[in-house]
Amino acid sequence: MDFNLSLRPDLVLANKEENGRPLVQALIAAGLAVHVSFPCTVDQSIGYLESLGLLLGVDAECSDWVAKCRSAVEPARRENTGMAVPVFVPIWKDPWMTFDGGTYASDLLEICGAHNVFSGRQRLYPLAADLGKASPRGGQKVDARDRRYPRIRLEEVIERGARAVLLPDEPYAFGKDDAIAFRELDASPSLLVEPVDGKDLFWYGTRAAAAIVRIRDQVERLRPACFGGYPNK
């Protein structure tokens, strides 16, 4: 990726998932200050906000956002007294992909009273192994890869006990045809399918404060239908 060093920014904000190591190393070698973020939980996202405030010299303003995020997180955690709603969230298709429990989105779902049914399912190599058609490979090279985004068979959604499917509008814009595919996947009418704001699930930082409220409200609306009308079943 090309970048213009003549801009000479005081600080470069990068993300481990979005920006490759060679680019970050090149920026550092050029004498630029680089802050790399990689929050995998909501608490880490709040910590990122705190560090960003200090780096930018706006810690007072960031403190307000940190307080808003914590004021959303703490009550949501306290209120999680019932059984978590088992959900599936795809992020891509052809092949179908999702995320495991080591991701920000999975942690946010847990805080909001949902359970990511693929939380314990790491990505396998090669693709055929992920799809259950071959034995997975091991070794140092495989272990060093990011394995948090498994490629899956749709049948696994049912096998893992999902009661609801949340279809985000990013990073892939799932639509009505995808909703039909999931409804046809289950022979019974128990699998609920509805859209969810992808930014609420995947955008960490200041958005978390309102996102937690919205996602929790959505999960609670699904709960009676998922558990036969009994909120704490």
What is the pTM for the complete model shown? 0.90
Mean pLDDT by 10 residues, the chain (233 residues): 76 92 92 95 96 90 92 93 94 96 98 98 95 91 89 93 96 92 71 94 95 96 80 39
State the pLDDT at residue 44: 97
Predicted pLDDT at 232: 39
Res 186: pLDDT: 64
Question: pLDDT at position 217, please?
Answer: 96
Domains of the chain: 1-38 (no CATH), 78-226 (3.40.50.1980)
Confidence (pLDDT) at 187 = 57
Q: How high is the pLDDT of residue 230? A: 42
pLDDT at 81: 82
Pairwise CA distance, residues 182 & 155, whole Å? 10
